[in-house]
Amino acid sequence: MDLYEHQARELFEEHGILVPRAEVTDSPKEAREIARRLGGRAVVKAQVKTGGRGKAGGVKLAADPAAAELTARQILGMDIKGHPVRKVMLAQPVDIETEFYVSYVLDRAACRFLAIASAQGGMEIEEVAASRPEAVARVPVDPARGVTSAKATEIADAAALPPQAVDVLVRLWQVLVREDALLVEVNPLVRTRQGRLLALDGKVTLDDNARFRQARWGAADTDHHDPLEAVAAARGLNYVKLDGEVGIIGNGAGLVMSTLDVVAGRGARPANFLDIGGGASAQIMADGLSLILSDPAVKSVLVNVFGGITACDAVAEGIVRALDTVRLTKPLVVRLDGNNAAAGRAILDGRAHPLVQQATTMDVAARQAAQLAHTA
């Protein structure tokens, strides 16, 4: 679960990390009053769960309360990368001397966390990482040991951060651990001309598995979700919309990810990630197929299932029943392997749907699906 910037700064403040004074509103008139309370000048920032707000015009400096009201009126209602702006945060301007970047992120492959830091923070940190990778320090963090003062000093030295950053790095780790976060990021962490270190912007992603411990943040925000993702969530489907033309259904996240790669290797683009998990009942298959077929970008569909606890004949029965309830309008390629695969293929052969093809390997199935998408 991603937090809004104002929620992230609330966490930072609770853990002793300095942040500028700020208030949140959804009203342009109230923005004027907030700016007055902040001293007149204010930075008006769109509250959306995505990056690139500044380049999109979602972060602006207002010179006085009247300008703050006008700016808030301009930003509220904007669409930034598919995220509607419903609230703005007004923050007190800071006299910046230097900008830094610091973050902790879960490294799933290595079963540890990774500290990423740089003395070149700000809007262009991605470009710095791409063009000058040596300017971005990446320091592994053992989750069992955490970030002590000694570890924080190692991170600060590796990234050429000032000595004051050591305390910030320790406190930022406390945010990650105590708040069940998978990512905490400050960009930029700034040093003011008065020598103070402040978190000017923050990003925090909490572990959905710990949502019961983080109830104060409320239900998951769905304002920015793709409409198909919202439908999938309502049906309990593990679905992510992608920008391609081959719909993908598989059982198991690893198998689905492999399928995406193989389809891409065959010159086509996956249209989605859809993991139906260990079961493939008729209802699950019907929900999955209807969801994917409702995507106008999809030209063909690939079902890639490896039978285990749920045998392939049960999966095939689910597909057949789904075809009785869902009008198949695009070609469907099915690859069944594993437990009772032969029986499953026989069931599909018996159904003999004109738009259903079968393949015995993932590579052949991906090639067929890609070709069908290109000729559709």
Mean pLDDT value across residues 328-354 = 94
Active-site residue identified among 101, 104, 154, 317: 101
- pLDDT tens for 177-217 read 999 999 999 999 999 999 999 999 999 999 988 878 877 77
Two tokens at 172? 């930022």
CA dihedral 234, 222, 184, 181 (to 10 degrees): -30
Q: Each residue of 205-241: b (16+ CB within 10 Å) or e?
A: bbeeeeeeebeebeeebeebbbebbebbeeeebebeb
- The pLDDT of residue 111 is 87
User: Which residue out of 154, 179, 185, 317 is catalytically annotated?
Assistant: 185
Residue 232's pLDDT is 86
Q: Is 101 marked active-site?
A: yes
pLDDT at residue 144, as a whole number: 93
Who has greater pLDDT, 128 or 72?
A: 72
Instruction: Provide the 8-state DSSP code for 136.
Output: E
78-95: per-residue pLDDT in tens?
A: 988 878 999 999 999 999
Domain boundaries in the chain? Answer: 21-91, 96-217, 227-375
pLDDT at 221 over 60: no
SS3 359: strand
Is residue 108's pLDDT more than 90? no
**Sign of the torsion formed by the C-alpha atoms of 256, 260, 261 and 265:** positive
Query: What pLDDT, on a 0 to 100 scale, did the predictor assign at position 311?
Result: 86
- As a whole-number percent, the residues of the chain with pLDDT over 70 amount to 95
pLDDT at 279 over 70: no
Confidence of residue 131 (pLDDT cuts 50, 70, 90): confident
Mean pLDDT confidence for 334-341: 93
Please determine whether the domains at 21-91 and 227-375 fall in the same fold group of CATH: no
Radius of gyration of the chain, Cα coordinates, nearest whole angstrom: 25
Long-range contacts of 255-258 (CB under 8 A, 24+ apart): 255/304, 255/306, 256/304, 258/362
CATH-assigned architecture of domain 227-375: 3-Layer(aba) Sandwich (3.40)
Distance CA(274)–CA(269), nearest Å, equals 14
Asked if residues 165 and 100 have their Cβ atoms less than 8 Å apart, the reply is yes
CATH class, domain 96-217, is alpha beta
pLDDT band at 114 (very low <50, low <70, confident <90, very high): very high
Q: Write the CB contacts of 266 (distance below 8 Å, at least 6 apart in sequence).
A: 363, 366, 367, 369, 370
Distances (CA, A) of 107 to 36, 142, 291: 44, 11, 32
pLDDT at 23 over 90: yes
Q: 185 catalytic, yes or no?
A: yes
In this predicted model, what pLDDT tens digit does every residue of 151-175 receive, in sequence order?
A: 999 999 999 999 999 999 999 999 9
Phi-psi domain of 354 (left: phi exceeds 0; alpha: psi -120 through 50; beta: other):
alpha
Higher model confidence: residue 234 or residue 206?
Answer: 206
Ranking 67-71, 205-209, 264-268 by mean pLDDT, the lowest is 205-209
The confidence band for 277, taking pLDDT boundaries of 50, 70 and 90, is confident
pLDDT above 90 (res 318): no
- The CATH classification number of 21-91 equals 3.30.1490.20
Q: What pLDDT does 268 receive?
A: 95
